[in-house]
Amino acid sequence: VKRIDLAIFGAAGYGGQELLRLLSAHPHFRVTAATSTRHDGRPVEEILPQLAGFYPGLRFQHPDQALPEGCAAAFLATPHGVSHRLFATLHARHPDLDLVDLSGDFRLKDPDTFYAVYGAEHHFPERARDFAYGLTETNRALVRDASFVANPGCFATGALLALAPLAEHGLLAGDVVLAQTTGSSGSGAEPQAGTHHPERAQDMRAYKVLVHQHQPEIAQELTRLGMAGMGMQEFELVMVPQSGPFVRGIFTVAHVRLPADVDAAELYARRYADEPFVRMRAGTPALRHVVRTNFCDVSVHQRGRRVVVLTAIDNLVKGMAGQAIQNLNLLFGLEETTGLWAPGANP
C-alpha cells in the first residue's frame, strides 16, 4: 500500500481535529506532524480524547518546528492571515511540499477584492493564481494537476453546489438569493459570543447580511463557471447568512428566476449523476443525513421559471476537512472517495 506522510497545521482546531478523525481511517495518508502552539509537546490523544487509540506516539509540535523527514503534503487548517505566512515559510523550506489551505487566503484571485474582504494586504497576491480553487465537483481537472489547493469556504461549498449547474448553462440572471443557516462549529474552536451556548441554543439570527466574506468567493466561481460554460448574464448575489441552534451543518436555500424555460430537476440530475458525493433528493435534504459525512444532498423545486434549490452539507466535512482530503486524493492520483466513503446516520 502506497503511504503518503502528511502534516496538519492548526491540528487542535475544529478543522484540524476533523482532518485527524477522517485521516485515521485513510489507507494511504499518514499524519506524521500535527502542529499546535498551545499544546506544543503534548500527546495528541491526551488533548483530543476522541482520537484515543488512533494516534499512539504522535505529539503536537510547534508550527515553527521542522517537519519530519518524508512529509509530502500539508494541510493549513489555520486562520486567514496565518495561512499565507505559513505558506511562504513552508514553500521556502520544502519546495516540493503539496499544500491544501483551508482558510480564505488563496481563494480570491484579485488582490483588491482580497483587501476589501479581509481588510488586510495579501503578502503574496501573485501566489493566489497558483492555487486551484478546490470545489472538487467543478475543478477536478485543475486540482488533479495542482500542487496547491485553496479549499472553498463552507458557505461557498453549500451555495456553489446549489448554483453551479445553472451557472454552467448561463441560467443565472437577476437576483440570486442565498439564505444559508450554519451551525456553531462554523466559527471554530475558540469560544466567542456568537457560539456561547446560552446565547446560541434555541435561537435563530442572521449576521453579516449582504456582506459575508464568502459572497465574493461564490461570485468569482459562478462567473468563472459561466465564462467556461455557456456564457454569463448579469446577476446579483443576495446572501443572508444565519446562525442555527445546532453544532454541525449548513442548510442552503437558493432562490433563482430562470431566464429561459428549462427543466431544472433534469438538468441537476444529469449534472450530478456521476458525482460520488452529491446526492439528489426527491424531497428536502436534511442535515441529519449528511453530518459527519462528505455528502452534499441536493433537491430542486420548480414552478414555471421560479426555482428553489436546497443543499445540506456538514460544514466541517464537505465544507472543510472532507473536501480537503477529497482534493488531496486527486492530487496524489488516488480515487477521490478514498477514506471518505461512508454513509450518514439517522437519527
Ligand X SMILES: NC(=O)c1ccc[n+]([C@@H]2O[C@H](COP(=O)([O-])OP(=O)(O)OC[C@H]3O[C@@H](n4cnc5c(N)ncnc54)[C@H](OP(=O)(O)O)[C@@H]3O)[C@@H](O)[C@H]2O)c1
Considering only 25, 116, 120, 189, the residue that binds ligand X (CB under 6 A) is: 189
Span from 31-39, 106-114, 136-144, 198-206 in contact with ligand X (CB under 6 A): 31-39
Q: Is 185 in the site for ligand X (CB under 6 A)?
A: yes
**Marked catalytic residue, from 117, 132, 154, 239:** 154
Q: Is 65 in the site for ligand X (CB under 6 A)?
A: no
Span from 74-82, 164-172, 251-259, 262-270 in contact with ligand X (CB under 6 A): 74-82
Distances (CA, A) of 218 to 87, 120, 204, 222: 23, 20, 24, 6
Buried b (16+ CB within 10 A) or exposed e, 264-303: bbebbeebbeebbbbbbeeeebbbebbbbbbbbbbbbebe
DSSP assignment, residue 16?
H
In the block, which residue shows the cell 506524521?
Answer: 32
Considering only 4, 6, 8, 15, the residue that binds ligand X (CB under 6 A) is: 15
Instruction: Output the smallest distance, CB 266 to ligand X, in A.
Output: 31
Which of positions 243-302 make contact with ligand X (CB under 6 A)? none
Query: What is the Cα–Cα distance from 9 to 344, expressed in whole angstroms?
Result: 28
Distances (CA, A) of 117 to 103, 110, 126, 170, 225: 13, 11, 17, 26, 21
Instruction: Output the smallest distance, CB 194 to ligand X, in A.
Output: 12
CA angle 21, 22, 25 (to 5 degrees): 100
Considering only 121, 190, 261, 274, the residue that binds ligand X (CB under 6 A) is: 190
Query: What is the Cα–Cα distance from 118 to 290, expressed in whole angstroms?
Result: 30
Q: Is 232 in the site for ligand X (CB under 6 A)?
A: no
Instruction: Output the smallest distance, CB 150 to ligand X, in A.
Output: 11
In the block, which residue shows the cell 480537503?
Answer: 324
Which C-beta is closer to ligand X: that of 168 or that of 221?
Answer: 221
Q: Show the cell assigned to 147.
A: 500542487
Considering only 19, 159, 316, 317, the residue that binds ligand X (CB under 6 A) is: 316
Considering only 7, 63, 226, 297, the residue that binds ligand X (CB under 6 A) is: 63
Which among 131, 126, 276 has a CA at the least distance from the CA of 139? 131
Bridge-based pairing of strands 205-206 and 278-280 is unpaired
Span from 71-79, 196-204, 274-282, 284-292 in contact with ligand X (CB under 6 A): 71-79
Q: Is 154 a catalytic residue?
A: yes
Biggest CA–CA distance in the chain, Å, is 61
First to last CA, the chain: 36
Show the binding pattern over residues 118-157: x = contacts ligand X (CB under 6 A), - = does not: -----------------------------------xx---
Q: Is 180 in the site for ligand X (CB under 6 A)?
A: no
Which C-beta is closer to ligand X: that of 11 or that of 72?
Answer: 11
Beta bridge partners of 237: 176
Instruction: Output the smallest distance, CB 39 to ligand X, in A.
Output: 6
Beta bridge partners of 296: 278
Query: What is the Cα–Cα distance from 11 to 76, expressed in whole angstroms?
Result: 9
Which of positions 317-346 make contact with ligand X (CB under 6 A)? 319-320
Instruction: Output the smallest distance, CB 84 to ligand X, in A.
Output: 11
Span from 11-19, 224-232, 276-284, 288-296 in contact with ligand X (CB under 6 A): 11-19
Burial class (CB in 10 A: 0-12, 13-18, 19+), 15: buried
Q: Is 82 in the site for ligand X (CB under 6 A)?
A: yes
Which C-beta is closer to ligand X: that of 84 or that of 271?
Answer: 84
The catalytic residue positions are 154
Contacting residues toward ligand X, per CB under 6 A: 9-10, 12-16, 36-39, 63, 77-80, 82, 102-103, 153-154, 185-186, 188-190, 315-316, 319-320
